[in-house]
Amino acid sequence: MTVAWAVQSGSAVDTLRPPSAGKAVRDVVVVTRRNLIRMVRIPEVLILSLVQPIVFVLLFAYLFAGSFSLPGAGGPEAYREYMMAGFFAQTIAFATASNSSVGMANDLRSGMVDRFRSLPMTRGALLTGRTVADLAQNVVLVAVMVGCALIVGWRIHNGLPRAAAAFALLLLMGYALSWVGVLIGLSVRAPEAAATGNFLWLFPLTFLSNAFVAPSTLPAPLRWAAEWNPLSATVQAARELFGNPGVHASNAWPAQHAATVSLVWSIVIALVCRTLAVRRYRSAA
């Protein structure tokens, strides 16, 4: 009886036979397309996510830059270049985690998750499609941020190939954090709780880092936390690849091996949170 019902609903495909790699990719593409179409049809979400980082960049560049000092790097002009890698990382982190968690919580409350679970589709395709769509949105955000950064005086000094590697690390970290957002969205009962829950870890992650201030200016315990912050490694690696000021602001081991540490952090976060999210997805109701 149970098997017959499963066959009729289509869910037995995943239960009785492992899906092929081609089918898994097709399922992810379908879900990604669904999320991108939804994004286009509700442009207010994308527009507002673009406006916020632009406002922050202008505020820091023209109002607050004169109040910050960067050890051994010069005045406000140097700080404007120093801060941009941090703003790239902060924008990607906030946009990705918020979209993933709130979107997944909405799908869960509306019953969309139950509908997808009843279909003969690859287990976890709904979650992966969500994160890939958020990655595509991050590419748009980064493009807009680059234009804004060039206006306030930020420049790439080490060539386009190294800059492309920096953006790849930033986007990879954003993709890893999107799995954190998915896990939160599956673990709460309402989208409002998902939005509020993001601030509990996004603010410490972004501000207790080297995104806007040098870790050497912090007290010892906070300095250690900032140096081993996964976002700090990504920001430091981006500064090195862009050729921006502040690349020698810390002698800590993570700062000296920033690209490697950033890559490892991103892979570990993505694998752990994806595993937990898929497990939660199986039992979500």
**Residue 78 has which token pair?**
């140097």
Cα torsion 72, 73, 79, 83: sign: negative
**pLDDT exceeds 90 at position 238:** yes
Rounded to an integer, what distance in angstroms lies between the CA atom of residue 52 and that of residue 211? Answer: 17
As a whole-number percent, the residues of the chain with pLDDT over 70 amount to 86
What are 144-177's pLDDT values in tens digits?
899 988 988 888 999 999 999 999 999 999 999 9
DSSP-derived 3-state class of residue 70: strand
Q: Closest Cα partner for 246 from 174, 254, 238, 219?
A: 238
**pLDDT exceeds 60 at position 190:** yes
Q: Closest Cα partner for 200 from 211, 212, 188, 210?
A: 188
- For residue 131, the tally of other CB atoms under 10 A from its CB is 28
Angstrom CA distances, 148 to 53, 205, 241, stand at 9, 23, 19
pLDDT band for position 277 (50/70/90)? very high
pLDDT at residue 165, as a whole number: 96
pLDDT band for position 11 (50/70/90)? very low
- For residue 33, the tally of other CB atoms under 10 A from its CB is 13
Q: Are 187 and 278 in contact (CB under 8 A)?
A: no
